Structure 1
Amino acid sequence: MDYKLLLMKYILYSRLQNQLQDEGIILDDFDWLKDKVIRLAGSKEKYRNVCNKSNSKTYDKGLWAFWKLLIHAYYVDIFTNVAKKHKSNVVYIDLLAGPGINYLEDLDLYIAGSPLIAKHAPRVTKDGRSKAFDKMVLVDKDEECCLSLEKILDCKTLCADCNSAEVMSEIARVMKPKKSLFLTFLDPEGTQVHWSTMEKLFQLPGDFIINYPWSGVARFARGYHGTSGKGRKKSGERLDCFFGDTSWRNVPEDSSAEWLYDFYLNRLQEHRSEIVEFQISMKGGGQYRILIATRKTRSGSPWLNPVRELRDRLDGITDETLMNLVEVYKGTQRPLTDWIS
């Protein structure tokens, strides 16, 4: 046995672990995050290759989109694992589905978009039973996004406004069977999803993953308070639709973003009282809040405990760690030596 080699490996491993711990990360977190990168990007950059071969449209976003989709994938797995034990018709609804693949410019990385995650994240049990969704409702207003998604997923999409009667009719149809339960992902950049649409969904049994557009909503609020004429009227009407009434207009101008978020959160809690919040910061100071919202059950919604653990875990992992890890994944760094000073 080469004891010198073993000793060298031990020293390298210890130094790597110490460096990660200096950042508040344990080695388990590093391995855990590496697994998430592989799951979202596919082995050997699967989704870059899929995109190149199909010449599909991509949804181009920044680093923050990785964290958002990691949370989405995590909850899809938890939700389907629990739901399929109790329900015979488990439905996924994506009202702003996009083209199917995201390109993260900060990382030069192609990753699965929310519809692909919904299709592939559910687990398969040891005896071969799939926990996959029974039905999927994929909606996007952009025809190019719909065509791209249909090409990649070999599925049907609904090319329509997410608030339209056509979309609500399709959701009602797929949710008609008894023992139905949905998971919906709402990922607006601004105020696209109206509160009237939310109210229709609230009447049906299901959970929500909501990307609350903190910065976008605050921007419209500033437009309402800081302009006059048509600009003020347009901003006001958009937020009326987003919040469902005009009481948001009482927002204090010096604390609009926080106040508006709390206003939305309180309204959401009237319909889904169990909410886990994630905060995602963007370059330039922008913010998003990811909300996982469900009804409170008699058992206390225990499946949310691992979601809260995920939130705590992500709080300790930096963007820099993710960027270094992606370089390791892509093979442009040596896995150990580039982590050791």
Structure 2
Amino acid sequence: MTCGKCPRPIHHWTALKLEYLDLYLQAYATAAKSAMKRAYLDAFSSCGRCVLRKSGVEIDGSALRALRAVPAFTEYHFIEIDADVADHLRANVGDNASVQIYRGDCNEVIRTRVLQRGGLSKRAASLAFLDPTGLQVHWSTVEALSRHRIDPARGRKMELLILYPYDMAAKRLMAVKGRDRTSAELRLDAFFGGREWADELRQSQLKDETDGERRVRFVDYYVRKLQGLGYKYVLAHGPLYNRHRPLYHLIFASDDEVGERIMRSVMDSGKARWIEGEMGYQPVQRPLL
């Protein structure tokens, strides 16, 4: 079976992001082992395998990395919008009764299937990996995930690891002018959950902020929105770069102090990591709990 899309070609910065995920998955699996139900949600699963553009080395993608965590999650929910890629993912996953694979837009699939009866258990200790290539994840989806677990107000919300694409997408759309401006604003509205982002942009413009200052403003803005959902711990890491060009941040939201400590360790450990296929690479080691 071939569609020219698998393995997925990736750059260094994507492989580094997978290293961060791998480190956290291993530690999370151990920390949550006492929970009877443990769930992993991947909103952009792709086909399960990647190939590094520079070296040609093939590595596991996020879905297969989640499957190799020990002890295993009791349920996996993988979403992929492309039908051919989803077929590759099914082939790479194999026969696994704990895995559900959904095809479609992540916002629609999460709302109508994953968070409905027969989908992700409300009682499961849960981690969602939201890894878009742009502004595909609507704020309403983030809100829905934060509310899904039983009694989320008492510190049991689903953990979120989010690729925050300010430089990759949000910044570019904020600069759009002319006849495409309305379409750009609607996409930003959906991503941020309203028009407050426009107020932030105006304040930044009035203060004549530098690119770096504006980046910090909009990262802080998204962090505050996650805190507004009741998350006790929200960490922002980045930006991660393509050489000297900033691309994205990783933002982590959790109610669990242990989870926060693990992720802080993960983010610190990855600042100068090698990746697979590079001289000096070492397999990830689980950080101390």
1:51-66 alignment to 2 at 5 Å? 57-66=6-15
Q: What residue is the counterpart of 2:108 in the other structure?
A: 164
2:236 corresponds in structure 1 to: 277
Measured after TM superposition, the shift of residue 55 of structure 1 is 8.0
> 2:11·2:54 contact (CA, 8 Å) conserved in 1?
yes
| Aligned pairs, number | 259
CA deviation string 1:35-90 (max 9, x = no partner): xxxxxxxxxxxxxxxx99x98712222101121001111111122212221x2121
- Matched-pair contact (CA < 8 Å) for 2:41–2:77: yes
Per-residue deviation, residues 303-333 of structure 1 (Å, max 9, x unmatched): 4323322322322x2669983335x99xxxx
Matched with 1:305 is 261
Shift of 1:139: 0.6
The alpha-carbon deviation at position 228 of structure 1 amounts to: 1.6
Where structure 2 has 5 or more consecutive residues not aligned to the other structure, the ranges are 149-156, 284-289
Alignment match of 2:124 (pick from 141, 156, 180): 180
Q: In the TM superposition, what are the counterparts of 1:31-180 in structure 2 within 5 Å?
A: 57-85=6-34, 87-120=35-68, 122-123=69-70, 131-154=71-94, 156-164=100-108, 167-174=111-118, 177=121, 179-180=123-124
The match for 1:323 among 278, 284, 287 is: 278
AA aligned to 2:56 is D
CA distance in 1, matches of 2:245, 2:84: 31
**1:266 matched to 2:219:** no
Q: CA deviation at 1:293?
A: 1.3
Q: Establish whether residue 291 from structure 1 lines up as the match of residue 251 from structure 2.
A: yes
Alpha-carbon spacing, 1:169–1:178, altered in 2? closer, same or farther (3 Å): closer
Structure number with higher relative contact order (C-alpha < 8 Å, ≥ 6 residues apart) = 2
Q: What is the alpha-carbon distance in structure 2 between the residues aligned to residue 266 and residue 174 of structure 1?
A: 32
Q: CA deviation at 1:281?
A: 1.5
More helix by share: 1
Verify the 8 A CA contact 1:135 1:174 in the aligned structure 2: no
Q: Is the 8 A contact 1:161 1:167 kept in 2?
A: no
Aligned 1:231-242 pairs, distance under 5 A = 231-242=180-191
Distance in 1, matches of 2:182 and 2:26, equals: 43
> Partner residue of 1:16?
none
| CA deviation profile, 1:198-228 (whole Å, cap 9, x unmatched) | 11101023111111112121111112xxx12
Query: Contact 2:57 / 2:276 at 8 angstroms: preserved in 1?
Result: no
Tell me the distance in 2 between the aligned counterparts of 1:119 and 1:320. 20
Higher mean C-alpha displacement, 181-190 vs 277-286: 277-286
Identity of aligned residues (%): 22
1:190 and 2:149 correspond: no
CA distance in 2, matches of 1:194, 1:59: 24
CA contact (8 A) 1:218 1:260 kept: no
2:170 pairs with 1:217: yes
Alignment CA distance shift 1:177-1:310 (3 Å): closer
Evaluate the alpha carbon distance shift between residue 146 and residue 321 of structure 1 in structure 2; reply closer, same or farther with a 3 A threshold.
closer
Q: What is the alpha-carbon distance in structure 2 between the residues aligned to residue 112 and residue 318 of structure 1?
A: 17
Residue type of the alignment partner of 1:211? L
After TM superposition, give the deviation of residue 175 of structure 1 in Å. Answer: 5.9
Deviation of 1:108 after TM superposition, in Å, equals: 2.2
Cα drift, residue 263 of structure 1: 1.2
Distance (whole Å) between structure 2 residues aligned to residue 240 and residue 318 of structure 1: 36
Which range is displaced more, 236-245 or 258-267? 258-267
2-side partners of 1:91 and 1:174: how far apart? Answer: 13
Stretch of structure 1 that moved more, 153-162 or 305-314: 305-314
CA deviation profile, 1:116-167 (whole Å, cap 9, x unmatched) = 01100x22xxxxxxx2111111111111210110011125421111111665
What is the RMSD computed on CA atoms of the aligned residues? 2.7
Aligned residue in 1 for 2:178 = 228
Deviation of 1:259 after TM superposition, in Å, equals: 2.3
Using a 3 Å threshold, how does the CA distance of structure 1 residues 314 and 103 change in structure 2: closer, same or farther? same
SS in 1 for 2:267: helix
Following superposition, the deviation at residue 178 of structure 1 comes to: 6.2
Contact in 2 for aligned 1:96/1:187 (Cα 8 Å) = yes
